[in-house]
Amino acid sequence: MTDPDIDLAAAKLRQQLADHLAAGGWLRSPTWRAAVEAIPRHVFVPRFYAETDAPGLTTWKPVTPQLVGVDKWLRQAYADETLITQFGGREIDWADPQPISNARPTSSSTLPALVVRMLEDLDVNEDTTVLEIGTGTGYSTALLCHRLGAHRVTSIETDPAVAARARGHLAHCGYRPRLLTCDGLLGYPEAGPYDRVIATMGVRSIPSAWIKQTRPGGLIVATLRGWMRSLGLVRLTVDDNGTAQGHFLSGDPSFMIARQQDAPESLGMIPAPDEGETRATAHGPELLTMADSGFVAQLAMPNARFFSMPADDGTVSTYVLDATNDAFATLTPSGDEWTVRQGGPVNLWDDVERSLALWQAADSPAPSEFGVTVTPDAQRVWLGSSDGPSWHLPG
């Protein structure tokens, strides 16, 4: 394919992508549609890894024009899929790219449906200034530049190699927004205050810098997450007294966590068999993995992680460990029921069951019935209204 052929094919694929995003209800306004139809996503992902449907461990395969052909590469670049560009914080060896399994993606071009729904949720107009955290490939930054003008866009990327590539891709498209290579959790006060802050990576709580750097009445759109799972997308309105409040939005989107907030490398010590107190419980580990109850469990145990492991007799137990205070809960099947053994400074499973009971008493509402209040002193997720049952986010 010659370059003009690529441009022609890409323009058609962009229209198809825009049609798909509009049909799904993600792309709602003509102005964002114009941005999706204009920005060449393939320029931002000259090579990437795409998830395969192989059973078992999640596996990604390399995709470049040389490896799969220009036509296939181009079609994948415009698929409504997340395209991974970095694993484990290390650069990919593109001299000899191999399939990758069981790795932790650390940079990507996010799922277009999620990118455009967040941009729609950002509720901008022509004069809006935006601080974006997590430049990544620069694709979402380019959409913002198209919609608002590059002079209204500031974007921060923490990884120098990723940031350098994004700068190149944006310049190729003729965009020169303010790009910073630093920790976006600190924002960039020099160019603030901003009308909007949008984060394309997950955070455990809303950084106070983002609130300080948002104009009163401005919006923050970000995903909250823990070390077990994502909590979801929130949209907060910043007040004029340094507080912010808003609701979780519908859907179950997930982002990679901010690098500075990643879970500790070690999962912690597996408790000795004679440690802790054992009792029966009505809830097994599926509570942690099911969408809505998993959300509640994440709120109840903000510092926990879990894994399952067979004992010598083949019985599979699930270990829930708090990375910060050595609390543990071990779930073991007992006939058709479960037992839990808990120890450490707090009883993790008691906390989960209390939270679950509150949620069930309210008719097990979806996460969009929960909201968040952020003050300079504390961050709380609440159910129903700000004086309803609430859970603290880690500080």
Ligand X SMILES: C[S@@+](CC[C@H](N)C(=O)[O-])C[C@H]1O[C@@H](n2cnc3c(N)ncnc32)[C@H](O)[C@@H]1O
Q: Which residues bind ligand X (CB under 6 A)?
A: 106-110, 115, 133-134, 136-137, 139-140, 156-159, 162, 183-185, 200-201, 255-256, 258-260
Active site residues: 101
β-sheet bridge partners, residue 63: 48
54-60: long-range pairs with CB below 8 Å, 24+: 57/101, 57/102, 58/101, 58/102, 59/99, 59/100, 59/101, 60/84, 60/99, 60/100, 60/101, 60/103, 60/105
Q: How many Cα neighbours within 13 Å face the side chain of 89?
A: 7
In the chain the first and final C-alpha atoms are separated, in Å, by 53
Residue 183 or 275 having the CB closest to ligand X: 183
Nearer to ligand X, 134 or 246 (CB): 134
Least Cβ distance, residue 163 to ligand X (angstroms): 8
Is residue 86 classed exposed, middle or buried when 0-12, 13-18 and 19+ CB atoms within 10 A define those classes? Answer: buried
Two tokens, residue 93: 């060896």
Q: Which of 148/321 has CB closer to ligand X?
A: 148
Residue 370 identity (one-letter amino acid): F
Q: C-beta of 108: minimal distance to ligand X in Å? A: 5
Return the residue matching tokens 């059973």. 55
Euclidean distance between CA atoms 347 and 390, whole angstroms: 18
Nearest residue to the partner ligand X, using Cβ: 136
Q: Which residue, 118 or 304, is less far from ligand X as judged by CB?
A: 118
CA 285-290-293 angle, 5° bins: 85
Rounded Cα gap, residues 230 and 203, in angstroms: 9
Task: For ligand X, give the closer residue by CB, 83 or 244.
Answer: 83
The two structure tokens encoding residue 2: 């010659």
Q: Where are the alpha helices (DSSP H) in 122-207?
A: 139-148, 160-172
Q: Would you state the structure tokens that stand for residue 9, as one six-digit string?
A: 């094919």
Cβ at position 37, least distance to ligand X in Å:
17
Cα torsion through 259, 261, 266, 270, rounded to 10: -150
Smaller CB distance to ligand X: residue 162 or 288? 162
> Two tokens at 84?
């991974």
Report in angstroms how near the CB of residue 150 gets to ligand X at its nearest: 15
- In the complex with ligand X, which residue's Cβ is closer, 48 or 370? 48
Q: For residues 71 and 102, what is the distance between their CA atoms, to the nearest angstrom?
A: 28
Which strand ranges, in their side-by-side order, compose the sheet holding 83-87? 100-101, 59-63, 48-51, 83-87, 105-109
Tokens of 37: 């139809």
CB of 237 to ligand X, least distance (A): 23
Q: Which is nearer to ligand X, 136 or 218 (CB)?
A: 136
CB of 182 to ligand X, least distance (A): 7
Minimum separation from the CB atom of position 378 to ligand X (A): 22
Structure-token match 């000899």, residue found = 96
Residue 273: strand pairing partners: none
State in angstroms the smallest separation of the CB of 341 from ligand X.
36
